[in-house]
Amino acid sequence: MAKYNKILVTGGAGFIGTNFVRYVIKNNPDVQIVVLDKLTYAGNADNLKDLDRVQLVVGDINDAELVDQLVQKTQAVVHFAAESHNDRALHDPSIFMQTNLMGTFTLIEAARQYHVRFHHVLTDEVYGDLPLRPTTPALDKFTTASQYKPSSPYSATKAGADLLVRAWVRSFDLQATISNTSNNYGPYQHIEKFIPRQITNILSGIRPKLYGNGQNVRDWIHVLDHVAGIWAILERGEIGETYLLGANEELNNLTVLQMILQNMGRDSQDFDFVTDRPGHDLRYAIDATKTQQALNWQPQYTDFAAGLQQTIRWYQDHQSWWQADKATVEVNYAKHEQ
Ligand code: NAD
Ligand code: TDX
């Protein structure tokens, strides 16, 4: 029996939300899920249409009346809904303020009123970045002791939203847990993001695009390990605690791109260097030891090359899922890339 069997999932039609809903429904026959999703460019109702015990409510987390109605009928809220792409935030941050900050405020107000468990899905980007070559142990990996020091408009809104959650825990006894996770990869990720963008570029006859010198490092975790971690937190996490989820897979962007090229039978030099992202964070790395010990959670997708290969195959096999968006995504990128 699951601890919570009526769950409200915000942003459940996006990348990680979809994988979470599919994982929970598959493994828990007693759980019913309501998804609240605005279906922005990043949400896709088709991701969920084959699932029983899932109801999709198309709406905005800023709609306080709708949020109130849904939260009072649930036992737990898992909050994924966000504007999630750094490049978009750099060109138009306003919607990030509205969705990430005000939307989270709307949800926690309802969760505290109805004494509903709340889980906040966060990113390691709230900690800012780490140097490429750490000079002290404190600069080696993020831990729960690291300070929030966001460097981009996106991560600043996520950090701000989390400061609200933490204040609501302290001041109003909000029954919340928090997870900070590193870069996810896997099926259903929007093709604006690094890995699916490059895979779909190659499938579309477009040369992959690498920002700056390609030396920036990301710490990759398979999305199914991430969602299993969130489920472990819901089931066994302590109220008020923050859990770091990561899989010890630090790689620079050039290496990841060359793995994709090689896997898809292309020359390793078959890509373009383009304009760097302004303020581009150098390196992220998560120390998940505490979470592994506290929750008995371990990443299962420990072979990144194999996970990447499965992801490439997913985009090859699901061309109708992404093809209609490809031209628009690339036209938008072309406005700023040289
Ligand atoms: P995504 O962009 O793929 O999906 C976001 C979903 O939220 C979409 O379905 C969208 O329609 C919905 N949404 C947006 N605004 C909304 C609103 N106002 N009301 C209701 N729904 C709305 O994002 P993702 O990559 O799945 O990320 C999910 C969460 O995980 C985000 O909070 C993100 O900050 C966090 N996160 C992402 C990563 C990553 O690597 N992708 C890593 C760590 C944490
Ligand atoms: O075309 C590209 N070329 C490139 O070199 C793109 C789209 C990205 N990059 C680089 C920038 C980053 O160093 O690849 C790296 C990964 O980029 P993104 O996929 O945009 O991810 P990132 O900015 O690291 O943020 C992601 O992880 C943390 C998610 O988008 C966030 O939602 C999450 O919080």
Average pLDDT of span 274-286: 97
The structure tokens listed for 193 are 């993001």
Is residue 138 over pLDDT 90? no
Which residue's structure tokens are 């939300």?
Answer: 17
CA of 194 to the centre of ligand 2 (A): 5
Question: Residue 263 Cα, ligand 2 centroid: separation in angstroms?
Answer: 20
In this predicted model, what pLDDT tens digit does every residue of 23-67 receive, in sequence order? 999 999 999 999 999 999 999 999 999 999 999 999 999 999 999
Tens digit of each residue's pLDDT (9 = 90 or more) over 289-324: 999 999 999 999 999 999 999 999 999 999 999 999
Average pLDDT over residues 201-215: 98
- Class in CATH terms, 6-190+221-250+280-303: alpha beta
Nearest CA residue ID for atom 15, ligand 1? 82
Q: Which are the contacts of 56, defined by CB distance < 8 A and separation ≥ 6? A: 12, 13, 35, 37, 45, 48
Angle at 86 between CA 48 and CA 194, to 5 degrees: 65
The confidence band for 137, taking pLDDT boundaries of 50, 70 and 90, is confident
127-145 burial string, b = 16+ CB within 10 Å, else e?
A: bbbbeeeeeeeeeebbbee
Q: Ligand 2 pocket, 218 CB below 6 A?
A: yes
Q: What band does 12 get if pLDDT is binned at 50, 70 and 90?
A: very high
Q: Give the number of the ligand closest to the Cα of residue 44.
A: 1
The residue contributing the CA closest to ligand 1 atom 34 is 84
| pLDDT average, residue stretch 195-215 | 98
Q: Which of 183, 185, 189, 222 lies closest to 15 in space, CA to CA?
A: 189
| Ligand 2 proximity of 226 Cβ (cutoff 6 Å) | no
Q: Whose CA is nearest to atom 16 of ligand 2?
A: 194
Atom of ligand 2 nearest to the CA of 122: 34
Q: Cβ(168) to ligand 2 under 6 A?
A: no
pLDDT in the model for residue 134: 87
Domain map (residue ranges) of the chain: 6-190+221-250+280-303
Residue among 268, 168, 234 nearest 2 (CA): 234
Which stretches does DSSP call E strand in the chain? 6-10, 32-37, 54-58, 76-79, 117-123, 176-181, 184-185, 209-211, 217-219, 221-222, 242-245, 250-252, 272-274
Alpha carbons 181 and 15: distance in angstroms, whole number: 14
**φ, ψ (nearest 5 deg) of residue 273:** -80, 135
Q: Is 177 in the pocket of ligand 2 (CB under 6 A)?
A: no
Sheet of 76-79: strands edge to edge? 54-58, 32-37, 6-10, 76-79, 117-123, 176-181, 242-245
Average pLDDT for 220-236: 98
Which sequence positions are flagged as catalytic?
Answer: 124-125, 154
Q: DSSP character for 246?
A: -
